[in-house]
């Protein structure tokens, strides 16, 4: 099945149709990119949901153009019938939910509207951009209570705003969070599952390490947005990929007016730009605009988080679980949705990027952005994960741990280091004062997995392997 990005990227280069025959215009003058199937790990979660005995209506949550619609259509292939309503495109469909919310009556009306017979157990019903029809969100409860055998999935790019407004039917729905493709998913999509499986063995030959780093270098520039990766796989065209990234960023900016007041839009745009600038550092509103009150900028950042464009990494003491029990809401770092989009925001030189060797010290704070994305991508997609870090601010005794996570019910500090060697002062300081942390994790450009004293070492691309491993 081709990836359908109709209407989302109207500004591709004028000569692109002649250069790439797989790109064509649809009947409304928008571009349709056709190419290979995009494999996503979350599809396995959806298949388990499909066959689960405790299944409830499923709500997909994630940023715009993250692949929610596509992955549901992929799942739809496993049903006798797939019925979809997009409430943004079909605004009149919201009238189906205007009166009562009796499930059987709704199902009958939806069947008539879509000209499809909906058979519970054999049909997948997909309600896309459901935030545009709030009563459809409320109806999920009644579908679950009155027709539990019905397979129904809802999704929406700005769904969190509607949920905050009207609430959710607690205990009557399930959630699945979707993020950009991880590096592992990128390898799978590029038909290099062999490399992904090889890394999981945690025994890396230096020659293979160089090969993996070459793939990683491409990923760190592309990022994990499905449209960009799909386009790269087909055409290996840098300019086209950059154009798609620009289109996605512009789409996010256009969304500002959908969830913000007119006077907030300028503030949101400034925060949007500043997130990429402040990557890896404690986020400070004064660095956004010292002439704007921090309370105003705080609200703008909160809106970007609800839109799933930004992710916050909060300070934690790291002394107890859950890590959020000691969360400091006034101390946090901010990461962008996607590393490729972040680099486009910063206008980083692509020519310099390809000439530089791939080392964490040349990546700068983009290395932390990458690890933040990997932590989110490999976390449980049933609940929204939270990022944490640790920082001690004391005279002559500053120390900072880039990330703090939990594995095997143990609190593990993570440091992203510039080179294969170097001091681990902050990591040592954390371990000496945190008795519930048996070891720390060092991520570097070195090719091997291993442990020295109380520090486990992994390569930059090794986070997935470490998370699923026994150590």
In DSSP notation, 389-420 reads: EEEE--TT--EEESEEEEETTEEEEEEE-SSS
- pLDDT of res. 348: 77
Range(s) for CATH 3.40.50.300 in the chain? 42-177
pTM: 0.89
- pLDDT of res. 24: 41
Bridge-based pairing state of the strands 58-61 and 174-177: parallel
For residue 373, how many C-alpha atoms fall within 13 Å in the half-sphere facing its CB? 30
Domain 42-177 belongs to what topology? Rossmann fold (3.40.50)
Largest CA distance in the chain: 72
DSSP 8-state secondary structure symbol assigned to residue 446: -
- pLDDT of res. 23: 42
- pLDDT of res. 452: 87
The sheet that has 58-61: what strands, in order across it? 81-86, 123-128, 151-156, 58-61, 174-177
* Residues linked to residue 83 through DSSP beta bridges, in sequence order: 125
Q: Which structure tokens are listed for 200? A: 């999981």
Please tell me the distance from the alpha carbon of residue 361 to that of residue 339, in angstroms, as a whole number.
16
pLDDT in tens, the chain (471 residues): 444 444 444 444 444 444 343 444 433 333 344 344 678 999 999 999 999 999 999 999 999 999 999 999 999 999 999 999 999 999 999 999 998 999 999 999 999 999 999 999 999 999 999 999 999 999 999 999 999 999 999 999 899 898 888 887 778 999 999 999 999 999 999 999 999 999 999 999 999 999 999 999 999 999 999 999 999 999 998 889 999 999 999 999 999 999 999 999 999 999 999 999 999 999 999 999 999 999 999 999 999 999 999 999 999 999 999 999 999 999 999 999 999 999 999 887 666 666 666 666 667 789 999 999 999 999 988 888 999 999 987 777 788 999 999 999 999 999 998 655 556 889 999 999 999 999 999 998 877 899 988 999 999 999 999 999 876
Please classify residue 2 by burial: count the beta carbons closer than 10 Å to its beta carbon, then call 0-12 exposed, 13-18 middle and 19+ buried: middle
Q: Is residue 351 helix, strand or coil?
A: helix
DSSP 8-state secondary structure symbol assigned to residue 39: P
């Amino acid at each position: 099945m081709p990836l359908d990005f109709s209407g989302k990227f109207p500004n591709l280069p004028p000569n692109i149709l002649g250069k790439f025959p797989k790109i064509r215009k649809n009947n409304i003058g928008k571009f349709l990119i056709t190419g290979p199937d995009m494999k996503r790990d979350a599809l396995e979660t959806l298949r388990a949901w499909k066959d689960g005995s405790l299944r409830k209506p499923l709500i997909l949550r994630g940023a715009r153009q993250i692949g929610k619609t596509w992955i549901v259509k992929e799942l739809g292939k496993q049903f006798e019938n797939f019925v979809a309503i997009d409430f943004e495109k079909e605004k009149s469909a919201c009238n189906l939910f205007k009166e009562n919310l009796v499930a059987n009556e709704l199902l009958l009306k939806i069947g008539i509207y879509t000209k499809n017979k909906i058979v519970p157990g054999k049909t997948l019903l997909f309600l896309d951009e459901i935030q545009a029809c709030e009563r459809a969100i409320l109806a999920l409860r009644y579908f679950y209570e009155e027709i539990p055998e019905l397979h129904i999935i809802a999704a929406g790019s700005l769904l969190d705003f509607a949920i905050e407004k009207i609430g959710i039917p607690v205990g009557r729905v399930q959630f699945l969070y979707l993020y950009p493709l991880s590096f592992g998913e990128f390898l799978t999509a590029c038909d290099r599952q062999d490399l992904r499986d090889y890394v999981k063995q945690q025994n890396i030959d230096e020659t293979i390490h160089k090969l993996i780093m070459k793939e990683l270098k491409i990923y760190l520039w592309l990022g994990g947005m499905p449209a960009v990766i799909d386009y790269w796989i087909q055409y290996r065209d840098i300019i086209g990929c950059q154009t798609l990234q620009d289109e996605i960023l512009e789409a996010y900016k256009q969304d500002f007016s959908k969830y913000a007041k007119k006077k907030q839009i300028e503030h949101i745009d400034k925060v949007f730009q500043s997130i990429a600038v402040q990557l890896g550092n404690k986020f400070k509103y004064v660095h956004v605009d010292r002439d704007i009150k921090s309370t105003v900028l705080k609200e703008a950042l909160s809106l970007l988080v609800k839109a799933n464009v930004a992710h916050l990494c909060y300070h934690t003491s790291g002394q107890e679980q859950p890590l959020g029990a000691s969360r400091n809401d006034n101390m946090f770092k901010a990461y962008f949705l996607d590393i490729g989009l972040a680099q486009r925001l910063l206008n980083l030189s692509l020519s310099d990027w390809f000439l530089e060797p791939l080392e964490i010290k040349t990546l700068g704070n983009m290395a932390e952005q990458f690890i933040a994305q990997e932590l989110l991508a490999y976390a449980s997609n049933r609940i929204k994960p939270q990022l944490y870090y640790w920082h001690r601010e004391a005279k002559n005794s500053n120390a900072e741990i880039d990330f703090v996570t939990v594995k095997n019910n143990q609190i593990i500090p993570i440091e992203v280091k510039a080179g294969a060697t170097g001091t681990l002062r902050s990591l040592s300081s954390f371990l000496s004062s945190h008795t519930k942390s048996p070891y720390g994790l060092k991520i570097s450009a070195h090719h091997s997995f291993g442990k020295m004293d109380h520090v486990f070492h992994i390569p930059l691309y090794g986070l997935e392997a470490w998370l699923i491993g026994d150590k």
